[in-house]
Amino acid sequence: MSYIKAGQDANGEDIKLHYTDQGQGQTVVLIHGWPQSHEAWTYQLGELPKHGLRVVAYTRRGFGNSSKPFEGYDYDTLADDLKAVLDTLDLQNVTLVGFSMGGGEVARYMSRHGGARVAKVAFISAVTPYLLKTDDNPDGVPQSVFDDIQANIAKDRFDFLQSFGKDFYGVGALSKPVSQAVLDWSFGMASLGSHQATVQCATAFATTDFRSDLAAISVPALVIHGEDDKTVPIKNSGERMSQHLKHATYVVYDGAPHGLFITDKDKLNRDLVAFATGSSVEASK
């Protein structure tokens, strides 16, 4: 396994991020969502390098085979971890792709580190611009929704993860967009995360306001969101991103759930390849 050092924890132990680096050419960096690992990008890792792209994907601290410190799950720290990846591998003119929680890392990195080394950004099913309902964000998600998530994690994290996975991929009584094998695979990834990381990252993506971070982004941007996303509803995220990234290309995947990197993998792969290589991506009307 390959690892990148991203600072030290409170006990002076090195924090190591598990990563993979495949292909050659223009670099795409993939940032996974909560509560999985970079292995979630399996179909993108298997396809994008075929199109003259170098693809780097890493696992966020606290998850998968990365180090699991007790602290450091705020977005400033997570953006610094992303910087460690870009700096250590000396990546240039990167296309940053953030899925769900990973969209927050993209936004915070661009403001906190001035967009260094980055040529383009993509937000896929992202938690940006701001999920929590507040007085100045009346269209957000009520705090009670996030309180229920935390309560269910505290009660039985593994049962929560299994139920969460079904909503993640849009599985219902009459809807089976993914197999049981995919649900099992996703549960296995999520269960490797530490309890503390799962809890603290849920707090981070629920309560962090990225509106000012998005204002710092001037590079080409792509926003993709599933129309039937029950995890990060499109009205709270995708539809609002155009208010903050007016120059972004906005694409809605009809009927797609949150986990569209699996359910709509072929379409997502085509759009990511086109965006990274400079071809046009057809915006939704």
Active-site residues, by number, are 100, 229, 258
Q: Which two tokens stand for residue 123?
A: 């937000």
Task: Give, as one character, the DSSP assignment of residue 72.
Answer: -
- Residue 254 per-residue DSSP state: T
Tokens of 65: 């085979």
- What is the chain's alpha carbon radius of gyration, rounded to the nearest angstrom? 17
Given a contact cutoff of 8 angstroms between Cβ atoms, the answer to whether 122 and 254 are in contact is: no
Q: Of all helices (H) and strands (E), which one includes residue 27?
A: strand 26-31
Under DSSP, is residue 105 helix (H, G, I), strand (E, B) or coil? Answer: helix
Pairing of strands 14-22, 2-8: antiparallel
Integer Cα distance of 143 and 52 in angstroms: 44
β strands within 32-186, DSSP E: 53-58, 94-99, 118-124
- CA–CA separation, 241 and 221 (whole Å): 11
Among residues 226, 229, 234, 225, which one has the least CA distance to residue 168? Answer: 229
